[in-house]
A and B are shown apart, each in its own frame.
Chain A
């Protein structure tokens, strides 16, 4: 055991390359199977959509099977890198829209430009998602779905606290939270559970106050979290968080997932993707509602992070055409409508409805479109900044300045 750990560390960098040379010659593509990497969200949220796509695919390609392998956001890129090295990439991979640029720039994906017309609703793809799947004027990623972030809340507790309608401003939400806290005295109860380092939520405050994460100036990236607007946003986040959340100031929004805290009855509201309503626990399903997070400007909604996924075909796949065909089946109009029914935003403007999720998407922000943005995420620069701010180890200004210079350093790498 110990020896294995040591060897793993000492040779860690070598192994990838060894694997590359060792298995490049092995033809592991089975003649009648395609491999699809989807995120676990599909497994827990919409397995029926996956099944529908597989059925359609197998009807079109008799004798073929689809091996869907579910991945975690935390390590799927490392795993993908390993398959790139070994030459056994999947035939279809789901990528977060913030992850695409780096891989498109490196030539990891097959050019799907000529096939674009064959994907359903491709002329009406959501602009934000379609853009994240394009590089140098070519299409590498097919929009899968988008999701905005909303507040998921307990209607019964809100009613008990005398709150009759969803808050329409940040300050009203704050006073509502105080009412909720007064009615729910159990230890560890959060009126609004927000993981301390949930940067998706925290950055909404930055954008709400007119700030942004980074900007280009004279062809170089500049971190802008230390601008007065961004600092105002971060300060507002800090005081809101302190007032409403009993979460650990250093924890992320994965451990524990906020809906677990919610389903344990320890929160009257949580913030996060709208699909959080899936997992609020049986007891609370009928007394759970959602509203759009309000802005500090009354009557407006806060700009939410527009997350989303693209589907791409790795350039080294042995079944590129089949992979594209599966994507076609998976993103059919019928399937996109199923995704919409689960609370997601479908991939095309022509399919948009009026759900809380889709309304929240009306005001949104997106990460800087930089090749190295994903390194900022993986380096936990924003999370670390938030942890420093919330634990009080650094002032908002100090932490924001540090983060800004680190972001510039990472984004300006060659």
Chain B
């Protein structure tokens, strides 16, 4: 549909191009004038900080430089230092595994909830959607507090319930005793927070799946999972891809949830995620130059992933 409009616009444009007049140019340039304030605003709030970030990455910038308000140029030293730091590579691997787990769970459970939404009665659907919106509107910091309380060592409700339900003696069970356990709790928080967006978006996409196609497949005797994989998924694939790539971007750079839930006094190189590594280097060690270098490396990694997905998306567009 959208493509047809684009094609129509293109043909109109090529037909008109023959008679180019100043008035036409002036009128034609109106859209660009209109978009200029937006570009200016984006340049100011995103472009300028980005420019400063790049400059910072090539400077030695510590506490003394912060007070003097000027850094010393050091070329690629910051990048070299980071790339030779074992902690960087360990953190990268840990963050990739963490991201895969979080994105996989978010997409999987989110899609299941969306499928559920299609099948339940209107009343239940409204209740479920309302619940999802409530989760979505919960500020992250508040959610962290709730999670911290639920998993509290002494008075946590999770330990209490698990013990009462005879899952074993969870009295004073330490949910933050190992890196795996810490990141697993963080994962539950992040997946929980990201589910509404995925579920509601996939639900919207499912509405686009023609009922007659599904019906035809069913009449042909396809079991439900075949119908889902061969009929539904190809149709909603663009939405799934967008959601997946967005989730990767979000989860790869996540900071607030792990930092607050694990707590500053428990953050060590042994449980760094990329965002935290950057924060510790930049702010705790007062090495802003290295912090900037790390954030540029992160930007490159995320950009590479995004390009991969955008290209895949474009190819899907071509096929359709």
Contact = CB atoms under 8 A, between A and B. Distances in A.
B268 A379 contact: yes
A133 B59 CA distance: 30
Contact of B265 (A78, A247, A254): A254
Which of A6, A13, A255 has the most CB atoms of chain B within a 10 A radius of its CB?
A13
Contact of B268 (A8, A9, A106, A380): A380
Given A6-B253, A81-B283, A250-B266, A16 B288 contact: yes
Contacts of B174: 248-250
A20 B278 CA distance: 19
B18 interface: no
Which of A74, A78, A315 has the most CB atoms of chain B within a 10 A radius of its CB?
A78
B31 interface: no
B48 A10 contact: no
B304 interface: no
Interface string A255-278: 110000100001000000000000
Interface string B239-261: 00000000001100111100000
A81 to B, nearest CB: 7
Contacts of A47: none
B63 A106 contact: yes
A255 B154 contact: no
Interface string A97-116: 00000110011100000000
A12 interface: yes
Contacts of A87: 69
B265 A108 contact: no
Contact of B56 (A17, A249, A261, A375): A17
A197 interface: yes
B154 A8 contact: no
B49 A15 contact: yes
A249 B176 CA distance: 10
A224 B174 CA distance: 30
A51 interface: no
Contacts of A44: none
Contacts of A297: none
Interface residues of B, number: 55
Which of B52, B172, B291 has the most CB atoms of chain A within a 10 A radius of its CB?
B52
Interface in B153-183: 153-154, 171-172, 174, 176-178
B263 interface: yes
Nearest to A252: B265
A261 B254 contact: no
B50 A11 contact: yes
Contact of A9 (B48, B253, B263): B253
A12 B282 contact: yes
Contacts of B268: 379-381, 383-384
Given A11-B295, A379-B268, A6 B140 contact: no
Interface string B9-51: 0000000000000000000000000000000000000001110
A108 B154 CA distance: 42
B176 A250 contact: yes
A13 B278 contact: yes
- Give chain A's interface residue range (CB within 8 Å of chain B): 35 or more
B106 to A, nearest CB: 12
Contacts of B279: 12
Contacts of B292: 13-14
B67 interface: yes
Contact of B66 (A20, A246, A247, A252): A20
Nearest to B70: A20
Given A15-B49, A378-B284, A383-B266, A1 B295 contact: no
B214 to A, nearest CB: 32
Contact of A107 (B64, B154, B171, B282): B64
B230 interface: no
B63 A108 contact: yes
A78 B283 contact: yes
Contacts of B283: 12, 78, 81
B285 interface: yes
A21 B51 CA distance: 13
Contacts of B49: 11, 14-15, 18
B128 interface: no
Interface in A353-399: 375, 378-381, 383-384, 387, 391, 393
B177 A1 contact: no
A1 B139 contact: yes
Contacts of A383: 265-266, 268
A129 interface: no
Pairs A-B, 4 closest by C-beta atoms: A14-B53, A13-B291, A9-B253, A106-B63
Interface of B: 48-50, 52-53, 56, 61-64, 66-67, 69, 139-140, 153-154, 171-172, 174, 176-178, 194, 197, 249-250, 253-256, 263-270, 275, 278-280, 282-286, 288, 291-292, 294-295, 298-299
12 contacts: A2-B250, A13-B282, A14-B49, A16-B282, A81-B286, A87-B69, A106-B63, A246-B172, A252-B265, A315-B67, A380-B265, A380-B266
